[in-house]
């Protein structure tokens, strides 16, 4: 069974609440993939900084054993690093991580 990486870069509430978060949650809890990871990247970090509900929903993904990562460069630039860490998100430089996932034939990468 394949693994899934969702690269979340959208700052649009419709995308966040109706796709990114529920799809990651369901893909994990319903075992649609053997492993589910979420990468918070770019404009999505600005939106997360502004919205406590989104922060709570991200914390819930972590609580449900979804591996959540965030780009450290983006997080530092936006000023959201400490919030992400407090939610249980692994904040790291993601260039190599993403490149490896894109090249791995066992990983489906979905970007929104």
Residue 78 sits at the vertex; the CA angle it makes with 18 and 80, to the nearest 5 degrees, is 70
Which is the CATH superfamily of the domain at 3-111?
Answer: DsrEFH-like (3.40.1260.10)
What digits encode the pLDDT tens for the residues 37-95? 999 999 999 999 999 999 999 999 999 999 999 999 999 999 999 999 999 999 999 99
The whole-model pTM stands at: 0.96
Burial category of 112 from C-beta neighbours within 10 Å (exposed 0-12, middle 13-18, buried 19 and up): middle
Strands (E) located in the chain: 3-8, 35-40, 67-71, 90-92, 107-111
Domain ranges for the chain: 3-111
């Amino acid at each position: 069974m394949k693994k899934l990486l969702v690269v979340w870069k959208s700052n649009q509430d419709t995308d966040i609440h109706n796709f990114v978060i529920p799809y990651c949650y369901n893909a994990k809890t319903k075992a649609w993939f053997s492993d589910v990871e979420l990468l918070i990247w770019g404009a999505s970090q600005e939106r997360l900084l502004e919205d406590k509900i989104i922060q709570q929903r991200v914390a819930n993904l972590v609580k449900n054993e979804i591996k959540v990562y965030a780009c450290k460069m983006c997080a530092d630039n936006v000023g959201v690093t400490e919030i992400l860490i407090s939610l249980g998100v692994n904040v790291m430089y993601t260039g190599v991580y993403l490149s490896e996932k894109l090249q791995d034939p066992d990983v489906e990468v979905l970007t929104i």
